[in-house]
Amino acid sequence: MKTQDNRRNIALVGFMGTGKTTVSAWLRDNLGLKEVDTDALIVEREGMAIKDIFALQGEEGFRDRESAAIASLADRRGLVIACGGGAVLRQENVRSLKESSVIVLLTAAPETVLERVRHSDERPLLNGHMDADYIRGLMEKRRAAYEAAADVTVVTDGRAVEDIAKEICAFAFQE
Ligand code: S3P
């Protein structure tokens, strides 16, 4: 399947808990795209959970691995790439994704994000900060980076995955 302007991958970016993994699975199952989750790729390569990489290597160590994972996808096509929530913080990642992918920004209100992530301890940046105000603050710090990366923005609050995915397809596969 060809995306508009031939970039051929769909990259999902956005804050933690905006539904990247769920939407990516839908696109995999319904469009036959191959799914790559950058966090899963890092875990596989390092043989370690994300929170352990943060604990041992710090956030910068994790970001270096994230950049390497994204760079390794540069020549691949026909993918849906679920990016970690901080992937857009490095320009090199955005540049690489833009060359190969239509970049879809998923958004959700801080309260929605909190509802979706509060039972997990797998996100080191939120451990000890499980509240809507903290989430709102971090989201605001990142807002410009998310918006600069996005080709299109899709709101996810209160919506079924199918509805979200169809909006993405209408944009990504337009003639
Ligand atoms: C992060 C988001 C996480 C993961 C890591 C850092 C972030 O991915 O990459 O914990 O900085 O926003 P998800 O967005 O899939 O939770």
- Residue linked to tokens 């079924």: 160
Q: Which atom of ligand 1 is closest in space to residue 51's alpha carbon?
A: 10
H-run or E-run covering 132: helix 132-149
Residues at CB less than 6 angstroms from ligand 1: 16, 20, 39, 50, 84-86, 123-125
**Amino acid 128: pLDDT:** 94
**Amino acid 5: pLDDT:** 61
CATH code for 9-172? 3.40.50.300
Q: How far is the CA of 38 from the centre of ligand 1 (A)?
A: 9
- Which residues partner with 154 through β-bridges? 106
**Amino acid 8: pLDDT:** 86
Classify the phi-psi angles of 14: left when phi > 0, otherwise alpha if psi is within -120 to 50, otherwise beta: left
**Amino acid 35: pLDDT:** 98
Exposure string of 126-155, with b = 16+ CB inside 10 Å and e = fewer, is beeeeeeeebeebbeebeebbeebbbeebe
Q: Locate the domains of the chain by residue range.
A: 9-172
Mean pLDDT, the chain cut into blocks of 10 residues (175 residues total):
73 98 97 96 98 97 98 96 98 97 98 97 95 98 98 98 97 83
Of 100, 112, 76, the residue nearest 151 (C-alpha):
100
Atom 12, ligand 1: which residue's CA is nearest? 85
Determine what percent of the chain falls in helix, strand and coil, rounding each to the nearest 5: 55, 15, 30
Ligand 1 mutation pick, 12, 15, 16, max ligand atoms within 8 A of CB: 16
**Amino acid 4: pLDDT:** 62
Q: How far is the CA of 85 from the centre of ligand 1 (A)?
A: 4
**Amino acid 104: pLDDT:** 98
Atom 15, ligand 1: which residue's CA is nearest? 84
Packed helices 50-71 and 38-46: angle between N→C axes, nearest 10 degrees: 110
Q: Is 158 helix (H, G, I), strand (E, B) or coil?
A: coil
